[in-house]
Amino acid sequence: MSSRFLWNYRSEGRPAARLERVLAIGRAFLTVSGLIAIYIDPTEPARLAELTYAVLFGYVLYSLIVVAFVHRASRVAPRDGEILHGIDILWVATLTFVSSGPTSPFFLFFLFVQLAAAIRWGFRETVVTTAVTVAIFLVETGIAGAWNPEWFPWTDMATNRSILRVAYFVVTGCLIGYLAEQEKELRAEIAAVADAARQPRVELGLGGSVTAVSRELLRIFDAAAIDFVIQDFETRRTMLWRVEPHDERTASRRALHLELDPSQQAAWLFDDPGRAWHARQAADGSGYAVRVAEPDVWPLQRNSVNLPQALTAVRRFTTLTVGNLGLCEEWRGRVYLFDAAHTDNLERSLHFLESLTEHITPALTNVFLLRRLRSRAGAVERARVARELHDGAIQALFGIEMKIEALRRQTTLTAAAVQAELGDVQHLLQAEVLALRELMQALRPIELETSDQLPDVLASLVERFRRDTSVSARFVFDGHPISLPAPTALELARIVQEALVNVRKHSRARNVLVRLTNTDHTCTLVIEDDGRGFEFEGRLSSRELEKRRVGPAIIKERARIAGAELAVDSAPGIGARLELTLDAGVHA
């Protein structure tokens, strides 16, 4: 009935301790209810009432002891469940035997035993339990008929009733076992999908995530090897990761990573028949019989596919199981499992693979898009650094070279003129050293793990600015401790860093004040100076700044990322004031 597919996941999510607690409560409820029922009904038990009450009371006491045991035990082993199951069978057999034998009113207790077997294990164990209970029932019937015929007179009606009860046992046991088996298989698939979907992680990168997923698929399907192909629609690059099972000798071996050329792309990403399909080589080697799994269609569809020769020449295989995944207009991928062993139930395996790729796709998409964003961010940052160097250091060095060349050519300059020219060169060099230092500081990551470190970080930035530029700069913090998300606090630190760079480059200010204020409702950051100001006059909100296309572009973008409301006050020739406000909804 059951296959070895996903066998390791069948017990996941259902620990033995938790399972035995559920059964213990059910057992106690059943026995106590049975005791109450026969106490209310004076006609039952009809035979050996005192002995029946004694046995049932003993079973109730045993059930309560088991409840206390499983709730207090720090660990319940699967072996304990087998022992409890055997004791339950003995209790029920004894109870039914002393209470009218095969006509006992406690016939329902046998169903509990069958249910317990189904919940603990599955179909096979439930069928075995059913066979044992049927044998007990038949033995009790024979003993009752031979020992006291008055209990169970051998009439046609009694014989028919006995046959019906046996039939009830068998049908109920098979049905319960089948339903339990299907539930365990479904739970195993959910656990395996969840485990595979956890494999892609940002810190692993795309290659590491693909390798981790491939290792998991190797373990689930017990395949001989896996090839994982991903194509980036934006760059038109196609990459192949080849992963094989590893043993102690190859445990540290990394997956083989290749970039495919256009001809190889056509071989690995050819038009195939569906989301998930399985190809088996014919006995005579003439071709491949293909079965395709379609979403929401359980019977597999028969189809045909011509496998490219470049694919079949890579490695020799008998079966090939394929799953497709990807995001429309962003990327697509295909996983090839060569000679997967766990395909004895092909319908289940293919539908599971189709579901698995559907759940893995979002996780891999996140890693894929983050990789792309990081690549773009790196390119933008490199372009900004190149622009800063070109517009700053390179131009300044070129100007210094021209000054020195002019100074070298003029032989009639006085010592005072030479000193003045050298002073200008020195001033230019000092300015560019400071600009390069600021650029290095901007590229260096700010060490800020929690928002309560923000005041210290801002104080350090302002103090370094004062020391390097000789501009009078102060930092003031007042209010409650900061409780912002760490990324938001980091953006505020970057905003202060960018604002101070702008003050040095453009404002010609002599005084700068950075104030951070935090209350129960708002967190406010103010940066003001007494320099040249902006080209407009008055106070503009972030929306008005965007509409007029004025104001510091980088600070506006960082304020948007931080979720802060930006306002800029400017008085040309007098100074400027930047104010960023975060409401209580941003706090966390």
CA distances from 156 to 107, 134, 136, 146, 473 (A): 20, 20, 21, 17, 108
In DSSP notation, 161-186 reads HHHHHHHHHHHHHHHHHHHHHHHHHH
Fold of 200-370: Beta-Lactamase (3.30.450)
Q: Where are the alpha helices (DSSP H) in 99-155?
A: 108-120, 123-147
Q: Do residues 448 and 493 make contact, with C-beta atoms less than 8 angstroms apart?
A: yes
Q: Domain residues of the chain, as ranges?
A: 7-195, 200-370, 445-586
10 Å CB burial of residue 168 (0-12, 13-18, 19+) is middle
Please give the structure tokens belonging to residue 273.
């028949």
The tokens of 54 are what?
């004694």
Query: Token digits for 260?
Result: 């495919």
SS3 288: strand
DSSP string, 35-47: HHHHHH-TT---S
CATH 3.30.110.40 fits 445-586, yes or no: no
Q: What share of the chain is helix, strand, coil (3-state, %, to 5)?
A: 60, 15, 25
Torsion sign (Cα): 88, 89, 94, 99: positive
Residue spans of beta strands (DSSP E) within 397-440 = none
Neighbours of 473 (CB within 10 A): 21
Residues ≥6 apart with Cβ < 8 Å to 496: 458, 461, 462, 514, 525, 527
Residue 251 is given by DSSP the state T
Give me the long-range contacts of 539-542 (CB less than 8 A, separation at least 24).
Answer: 539/567, 539/568, 539/569, 540/567, 540/568, 540/570, 541/565, 541/566, 541/567, 542/566, 542/567
pTM, 2 dp: 0.61
Q: What is the pLDDT along the chain (588 residues), one digit of tens a residue?
A: 455 677 667 665 567 788 888 899 999 999 998 888 888 876 666 667 788 888 889 999 999 999 998 888 877 887 888 899 999 999 988 888 887 666 667 778 888 999 999 988 888 889 999 999 888 888 877 776 665 555 544 444 456 667 787 888 899 889 999 998 888 888 888 888 888 888 888 778 888 889 999 998 988 888 889 999 999 888 888 999 998 886 444 444 456 888 888 888 888 898 888 889 999 887 776 678 889 988 777 788 888 788 888 888 888 888 899 999 988 888 999 999 998 887 778 888 888 899 899 999 998 888 888 877 777 766 666 776 677 666 667 777 777 778 787 777 777 777 787 788 788 878 778 777 777 766 666 666 676 777 888 888 899 889 888 887 878 999 999 877 888 888 888 889 889 988 988 888 888 889 999 999 988 788 899 999 999 888 888 999 988 988 888 888 888 888 888 888 999 999 888 899 999 998 754 444
Phi/psi for 540 (5° steps) reads: -125, 140
* CA gap 491, 580 in Å, rounded: 11
Alpha-helical runs (H) found in 473-537: 486-502
Backbone angles phi, psi at 47, to 5 degrees: -125, 145
